[in-house]
Amino acid sequence: GNSSGLATVSPTAGVIKGFQVKGDSQHYYPFLIRAIGPSLSRFGVANPLQDPLVKIFDSANNMLAENDNWNGFDEWAFREAGAFGLPKGSADSVVIVYLRPGTYTIQVKGFGTGAGAVLLEEYPLPFNPGRG
């Protein structure tokens, strides 16, 4: 299932969240990972992180994906996951990644020395074993 958590990024320390992918080791499973910062102001969150940078790592600490500012091509995944939409051109971060079963970490920091509140989300996307 999906999970989310609100955390605070300081100028010197990011936030790390672990998650597990379960399933058949023969397949890659699609996930939507989001680090919502500036859009939190729409929900009344004080001091949101203005420019989150998100990175996904595997259990051997290899970086698999990263994103600074999301692009509109990812909106289909928000609908599939049941996630709220983001304003076009916002500096929130979004990654769509295909992962084998195992343990992964999401790491978020502010671009530069940014600090503030960030919402970390991970959603499994529909899996079609004929394609993966």
pLDDT in tens, 104-126: 999 999 987 788 999 999 999 98
The better pLDDT of the pair 117, 128 is held by 117
- For 52-85, what is each residue's pLDDT tens digit? 999 999 999 999 999 999 988 899 999 999 999 9
Label residue 130 by pLDDT band (50, 70, 90).
Answer: low
32-42 b/e (C-beta count within 10 Å ≥ 16 → b): bbbbbbbbbee
| Percent of the chain whose predicted confidence (pLDDT) is above 70 | 96
13-25 b/e (C-beta count within 10 Å ≥ 16 → b): ebbebebebebee
